[in-house]
Amino acid sequence: MDLKEKLLSSFLVFENQLEDDAYMNDVRNDAITAFEEKGFPTKKEEAWKYTSLNSVLKEDYSIFPKQENAIEFNDIKKYFIHDIDSYKIVFIDGKYSSHLSQTTHDGMDICLMSAAMSKPKYRLHIENYFNKVATKDSLPSLNTAFSSEGAYIHIPKNKMVAKPIQILHFSTGNESAIMLQPRNLIVIDENSHVQIIERHQSLSNNAVLTNSVTEIFANKRAIVDYYKIQNDNLNASLIDNTFINQKRESVASVHTFAFGGKLVRNNLNFYQNGERIDSTLKGITIIGDKQHVDHNTLVHHIEPNCESHQDYKGIFGENSTGVFNGKIIVNKEAQKTNAFQANNNILVSDKATINTKPQLEIFADDVKCSHGCTIGQLDETAMFYMRTRGIPEKEAKALLMYAFSNNVLSSVKIPEIKQRITKIIANKLGVNMGFDL
Amino acid sequence: MLKIKNLHASIDDNGVLKSILKGINLEIKAGEVHAIMGPNGSGKSTLASVVAGKEEFEVTKGTVLFNDEDIEDLAAEERAHKGIFLSFQYPVEIPGVSVTNFMKTAINETRKAKGLEEMPAKEMLKLIREKSELLEIDRKFLSRSLNEGFSGGEKKRNEIFQMAMLEPKLAILDETDSGLDIDALRIVANGVNKLKSKDNAVLVITHYQRLLEYIVPDFVHVLLDGRIVKSGGKELAHELEEKGYDWIKEEVNA
């Protein structure tokens, strides 16, 4: 039985276990129908031209993990940004772990999707926001159909959330292969500010496929800073679908630090529904081996006087492949849009590949849009220069690569994240350096 | 300190080995200042690069000894660790790496190679302050990205600042005077002179004699078509300035 069939039959089982909730059941039924019609995306689709899911879909994934697995904080501490005080929402094999988490209902809700879905007091919110910005494409639909757990965050207006929120998904390897479909809903009301860190981590070498959906609503003048840390092992694959709906004067940024897994696809979509909105999409990709990372971004400028800034840096070694597909749509009404996009890549090996494709659809006539992509090698003259100063080849290379990606790190607002990423980069590049530039 | 014997070097020019250095003999002792002069394309910069360890050049014959050790198989960084410094004619821009951090990395990697601990931060700062004052470098300048957007003069001053920080045994200054106005030239020369001692040596590579007014050489060599064809004292530099290179070419051909 292939994975699609397995999912379709599993849905019948899943549906039977659900509580009687006509609203949600309708949403789920529509979603599974959409998935059934479309199936998993293939390379024949333009948006998936350079990323094949075949190698990932052939595993026999368990859809509903059976066993609960107790994990102690010390075993997984290193995957947290543990040197900061933070709220934590932790999932083990898709199940919420209360003893590893730190949630709150004190003036705001930083808690669980399952709770928000089942309790009447959240009902209106769910009906207003759930699945309202996610697209009806096949993978988000698949997630919607099975959605039952994830993070639910609602920050009411005029609130500065003092501590960052860490959302962590662990898989234990209890099953030989597991498919996870976390679903996060994040609503930030007027004039509030939140910082969120998200990470998916496999704790074994068993196969994991995560098809995650995160919907973020940044309402009027809200500020959202979102950091995705992707540094999983070579049997873990991630399809991250993130949708951000911004209202007027809101500021949202997503930094994606992609150090891989087996296959990672980041579908990152921003919709600017209001004036004077600012959106930032930045990423650093450093991969090797046979890793594959695909950034597929969309910024949809719908109204006038908005800005978007995209800056993605990629360093590709060994047999790795990278994809950057950056789409910017500027509606006819969206005059005075400023949209910038840069994608710079270094190929460190002859066998590494990068496919980069800017896609601009501009219907307004008074806009500033710029895009640029580069693919290059490390500058040999710069290498020689550094070596004549006593910096060995490996360290010189690492320093150049770090400097190359530093533009992206410089806009990270939480110093501890910057330090952590710096450490991961040094590790990835095989050097023991601090790079305190 | 440096002994170059019958050095031949070539570069791969689209699959064809092109010979550039055709039998260089040169000996530099501690405490000496040597100048190499010569027209464009005579091989001056190649000589500097070969001694510093640039891998694009292939040494086809001859030896380079540094403190009696054959350095042919040493990588550029290993030569740097032994005390060879090359000031670049065109210093490379390295965006994202500040001057300070670049120097920290260079010094600590050199110390690591010698089995020493990293230099304590306080000591490093003191050293940076001291050496930047010597080269009259503004402190703000040190936090800028290395050579990025620097003027020609700033780049050269920065090269000598790095030299001052690394305290090499042999400093090779490749066309350090090009692009310098008279004030910057004076500052650079002053820096080099202050660093000079009986234990180190300087090799100045230049087109013109004007830098040699400030960094006075003990020996002047004329490089023509990959060979040193004439050597003399500092007066040779004046003669070249006045008469150009043609008379030497004629002398060589005769």
pLDDT-based confidence at A434, cuts 50/70/90? Answer: low
Q: Are B4 and B25 in contact (CB under 8 A)?
A: yes
For chain A, domain boundaries? 3-428
Question: Looking at the complex, does the CB of residue B121 fall below 8 Å from at least one CB of chain A?
Answer: no
| Mutation for A interface: B86, B105, B110, B163, most A CBs within 10 A | B105
Two structure tokens written together for B72: 């042919």
Strand partners, A39: none
pLDDT-based confidence at B14, cuts 50/70/90? Answer: confident
Q: How far is B167 from chain A (nearest CA, A)?
A: 11
Cβ–Cβ below 8 Å for A382 and B54: no
- Tell me the CATH number at B90: 3.40.50.300
Question: Looking at the complex, does the CB of residue B101 fall below 8 Å from at least one CB of chain A?
Answer: yes
pLDDT-based confidence at B15, cuts 50/70/90? Answer: confident
Q: How far is A384 from chain B (nearest CA, A)?
A: 7
For tokens 């895009």, what's the residue? A371
Question: Looking at the complex, does the CB of residue B53 fall below 8 Å from at least one CB of chain A?
Answer: yes
Cβ–Cβ below 8 Å for A388 and B92: no
Q: How far is B52 from chain A (nearest CA, A)?
A: 7
Q: What is the pLDDT of residue A21?
A: 87
Q: What is the pLDDT of residue A44?
A: 93
Q: Are A176 and A206 in contact (CB under 8 A)?
A: yes
Two structure tokens written together for A288: 């090797």
**Contact residues on chain B for A284, CB-CB shorter than 8 A:** none
Cβ–Cβ below 8 Å for A385 and B162: no
pLDDT at A393 over 60: yes
- Nearest CB partner across the interface for A406, out of B76, B96, B166: B96
pLDDT digits (tens, 9 = 90+) for A321-335: 999 999 999 999 999
Q: How far is A273 from chain B (nearest CA, A)?
A: 35
pLDDT at A185 over 80: yes
Q: What is the pLDDT of residue A11?
A: 94
Q: Are A117 and A24 in contact (CB under 8 A)?
A: yes
Helix (H, G, I), strand (E, B) or coil at A325: strand
CA A376, chain centre distance (Å): 26
Q: Are A171 and A208 in contact (CB under 8 A)?
A: yes
Q: How far is B216 from chain A (nearest CA, A)?
A: 25
Q: What is the pLDDT of residue A176?
A: 86
Strand partners, B98: B145
Q: What is the pLDDT of residue A429?
A: 83
- In 3D, which of A254, A351, A260, A236 has the Cα closest to residue A297? A254
Nearest chain B residue to A436 by CA: give it.
Answer: B101
Cβ–Cβ below 8 Å for B106 and A406: no
**Contact residues on chain B for A436, CB-CB shorter than 8 A:** 101
pLDDT at A350 over 80: yes
pLDDT-based confidence at A436, cuts 50/70/90? Answer: low
User: Of A139-143, A172-176, B53-57, which range is least confident?
Assistant: A172-176
Nearest chain B residue to A433 by CA: give it.
Answer: B105
Question: Looking at the complex, does the CB of residue B110 fall below 8 Å from at least one CB of chain A?
Answer: yes
Q: Are A417 and A257 in contact (CB under 8 A)?
A: no
Q: What is the pLDDT of residue B231?
A: 95
Number of domains in chain B: 1
Cβ–Cβ below 8 Å for A437 and B52: no
Cβ–Cβ below 8 Å for A403 and B96: yes
Nearest chain A residue to B86 by CA: give it.
Answer: A388
Distances, alpha carbon A229 to alpha carbons A155, A234, A271, B193, in Å: 23, 15, 23, 52
- Nearest CB partner across the interface for B106, out of A379, A390, A406: A390
Q: Are B163 and B87 in contact (CB under 8 A)?
A: yes
Q: How far is A55 from chain B (nearest CA, A)?
A: 38
Task: Give the integer Cα–Cα distance in Å for A165 and A308.
Answer: 24
pLDDT at A354 over 70: yes
DSSP 8-class letter at A243: E
CB pairs under 8 A between A and B: 79
Two structure tokens written together for A143: 């997630």
pLDDT digits (tens, 9 = 90+) for A39-88: 999 999 999 999 999 999 999 999 987 766 678 888 888 898 887 899 99
What is the span of the domain harbouring residue B96? Answer: 2-253
Q: What is the pLDDT of residue A423?
A: 87
Q: What is the ipTM of this complex?
A: 0.95
Q: How far is B38 from chain A (nearest CA, A)?
A: 24
Question: Looking at the complex, does the CB of residue B62 fall below 8 Å from at least one CB of chain A?
Answer: no
pLDDT-based confidence at A403, cuts 50/70/90? Answer: confident
Q: What's the mean per-residue pLDDT of chain B?
A: 93
Cβ–Cβ below 8 Å for B76 and A384: yes
pLDDT at A437 over 60: no
Residue A106 burial (CB count, 10 A): 7
**Contact residues on chain B for A402, CB-CB shorter than 8 A:** 96
**Contact residues on chain B for A396, CB-CB shorter than 8 A:** 77
- Nearest CB partner across the interface for A390, out of B80, B94, B101: B80
**Contact residues on chain B for A381, CB-CB shorter than 8 A:** 92
pLDDT digits (tens, 9 = 90+) for B162-190: 999 999 999 999 999 888 888 889 999 99
- In 3D, which of B149, B147, B136 has the Cα closest to residue B194? B136
For tokens 């090698």, what's the residue? A377
pLDDT cut 90: percent of chain A above it: 82
- In 3D, which of A270, A339, A343, A329 has the Cα closest to residue A306? A339
Task: Give the integer Cα–Cα distance in Å for B250 and B73.
Answer: 38
pLDDT digits (tens, 9 = 90+) for B52-103: 999 999 999 999 999 999 999 999 999 999 999 999 999 999 988 889 989 9
Nearest chain B residue to A408 by CA: give it.
Answer: B96
**Contact residues on chain B for A391, CB-CB shorter than 8 A:** 77, 105-106, 109
Cβ–Cβ below 8 Å for A390 and B166: yes
Task: Give the integer Cα–Cα distance in Å for A437 and A399.
Answer: 10
Q: What is the mean pLDDT of residues A93-120?
A: 93
CA B61, chain centre distance (Å): 22
pLDDT digits (tens, 9 = 90+) for A7-41: 999 999 998 888 788 899 999 999 999 999 999 99
Cβ–Cβ below 8 Å for B96 and A404: yes
pLDDT at A101 over 90: yes
pLDDT at A174 over 90: no
Task: Give the integer Cα–Cα distance in Å for A418 and A81.
Answer: 10
pLDDT at A416 over 60: yes
- In 3D, which of B184, B160, B186 has the Cα closest to residue B173? B160
Cβ–Cβ below 8 Å for A384 and B54: yes
Q: What's the mean per-residue pLDDT of chain A?
A: 93
Cβ–Cβ below 8 Å for B76 and A388: yes
- Crossing angle of the two packed helices A393-409 and B99-113, in degrees rounded to 10: 150
Q: What is the mean pLDDT of residues B103-111?
A: 94
Phi, psi (degrees; rounded to nearest 5) at B44 = -60, -50
- Nearest CB partner across the interface for B98, out of A389, A433, A437: A437
pLDDT digits (tens, 9 = 90+) for A212-248: 999 999 999 999 999 999 999 999 999 999 999 999 9
Strand partners, A236: A208
Q: What is the mean pLDDT of residues A264-283?
A: 98
Cβ–Cβ below 8 Å for B162 and A389: yes
